[in-house]
């Protein structure tokens, strides 16, 4: 069977970059469009699932929390049903999860894939998300899960928002600045998806974070140095962030390190291993 890769959530920041990389390599890849149909999966050999409501699109009301969860689990449930209707042609599912699987906390522990999930809202979302992906195994599909950290790019996501004070000539940490930032450059993240796609012996969860994490203070300091701006070591007060963001402030005030050992042991090599290299060339 000829290769046919379909991407759910292909119109987003990661999806667009991944499609560009796949097309540049001459691969047969296309974004799925809603509403998904069984005929879209006919003769498809792999699904890359990036679909899910944006976490930072609004305050985490009860309604928003339900939307965040349902947009992830229901997408996978729909794709599983459509794959069955299309004849179970999917050999591989590479599905997204997040560093929040381990809990939104700041600790000196370096989380590895076998560590248990956390107990907060985001951990619960990630756990349900991954469980939905693993149901594809019942159809004989190989499942690999990518637990993504903070994606560094100037195309969108968290970094341009964190870098906004640079426009006023300075950079400041968030809260204490001691929270870890498990970062990864967008290009390396796309290469991880392709690596997992191309290595049929790889399955289960993989952390997607560079081998040299930094804390928020170091990130903002490096940003200031990179853009020749002033670094002000006085952090944005946690209370201010909580008033502005509500419960969602936890993702800016807490963070832990993720081990890159498993993905590196699989043969993947990071292009951007340290933060100064990763920030180079970004227009912020």
Residue 130 CB contacts under 8 Å (≥ 6 apart), including other chains: 95, 97, 101, 145, 205
pLDDT category, 31, cuts 50, 70, 90?
A: very high
pTM for the whole structure: 0.95
In three-state secondary structure terms, 148 is strand
Q: Residue 181 pLDDT > 70, yes or no? A: yes
Report which of 79, 52, 205, 201 is spatially closest to residue 135, judged by C-alpha positions: 79
Note the pLDDT tens digit of each residue in 227-250.
Answer: 899 999 999 999 999 998 999 999
Mean pLDDT of all residues in the chain? 95
Is 149 within 8 Å of 257 (Cβ atoms)?
no
Dig out the tokens for 52 from the structure: 């899910």
pLDDT in tens, 51-97: 999 998 889 999 999 999 999 999 999 999 999 999 988 999 999 99
How large a percentage of the chain has pLDDT more than 90? 86
pLDDT at 56: 86
Q: Does the pLDDT at position 217 exceed 80? A: yes
Read out DSSP for 187-210? HHHHHHHHHHHH-TT--EEEEES-
CA angle 134, 48, 120 (to 5 degrees): 55
Q: How many contiguous H segments (helices) and E segments (strands) does the chain have?
A: 11, 14
Residue 38's pLDDT band, with cuts at 50, 70 and 90, is very high
* Structural domain boundaries in the chain: 5-279
What percentage of the chain exceeds 70 in pLDDT?
100
Tokens at residue 225, please?
């140095």
Give the length of the chain: 284
Fold annotation for 5-279: Rossmann fold (3.40.50)
Residue 97 tokens read as: 């999860």
Residue 7 — φ and ψ, nearest 5°? Answer: -120, 115
Q: What is the pLDDT of residue 166?
A: 87
Cβ atoms 104, 252 nearer than 8 A: no
Q: Is 243 exposed, middle or buried (0-12, 13-18, 19+ CB in 10 A)?
A: exposed
Cis peptide before 231 (omega within 30 of 0): no
DSSP 174: B
Cβ within 8 Å of residue 209, ≥6 positions away: 99, 148, 149, 182, 183, 184, 257, 258, 260
Q: How far apart are CA 26 and CA 13, in angstroms?
A: 20
Q: How far apart are CA 274 and CA 284, in angstroms?
A: 18
Confidence category of residue 167, pLDDT binned at 50, 70, 90: confident
CA distances from 254 to 105, 107, 180, 247 (A): 5, 9, 7, 12
Residues 129 and 71: their CA atoms lie apart, in Å, by 9
Confidence of residue 161 (pLDDT cuts 50, 70, 90): confident
In this prediction, residue 163 carries a pLDDT of 86
**In this model, does residue 1 exceed pLDDT 80?**
no
d(CA 11, CA 273): 27
Q: For residue 39, count other CB atoms closer than 10 A to its CB.
A: 10
């Amino acid at each position: 069977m000829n290769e046919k890769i379909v991407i759910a959530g292909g119109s987003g920041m990661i999806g667009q970059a991944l499609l560009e990389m796949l097309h540049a390599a001459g691969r047969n890849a296309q974004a799925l469009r809603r509403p998904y149909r069984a005929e879209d999966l006919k003769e498809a050999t792999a699904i890359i699932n990036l679909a899910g409501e944006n976490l930072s699109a609004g305050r985490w009301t009860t309604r928003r929390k339900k939307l965040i969860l349902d947009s992830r689990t229901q997408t996978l449930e729909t794709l599983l049903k459509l794959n069955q209707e299309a004849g179970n042609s999917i050999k591989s599912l590479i599905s997204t999860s997040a560093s929040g699987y381990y809990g939104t906390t700041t600790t000196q522990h370096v989380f590895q894939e076998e560590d248990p999930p956390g107990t907060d809202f985001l951990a619960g979302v990630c756990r349900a998300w991954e469980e939905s992906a693993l149901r594809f195994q019942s159809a004989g599909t190989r499942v690999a899960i990518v637990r993504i950290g903070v994606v560094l790019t100037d195309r969108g996501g968290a970094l341009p928002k964190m870098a906004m004070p640079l426009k006023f000539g300075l950079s400041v940490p968030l809260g204490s600045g001691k929270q870890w930032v498990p970062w990864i450059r967008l290009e390396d993240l796309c290469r991880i998806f392709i690596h997992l796609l191309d290595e049929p012996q790889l399955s289960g969860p993989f952390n997607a974070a560079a081998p040299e994490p930094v804390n928020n203070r170091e990130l903002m300091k490096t940003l200031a140095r990179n853009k020749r701006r002033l670094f002000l070591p006085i952090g944005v007060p946690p209370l201010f962030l909580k008033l502005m963001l509500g419960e969602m402030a936890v993702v800016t005030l807490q963070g832990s390190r993720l081990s890159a050992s498993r993905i590196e042991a699989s043969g993947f090599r990071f292009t951007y291993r340290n933060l100064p290299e990763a920030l180079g060339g970004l227009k912020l």
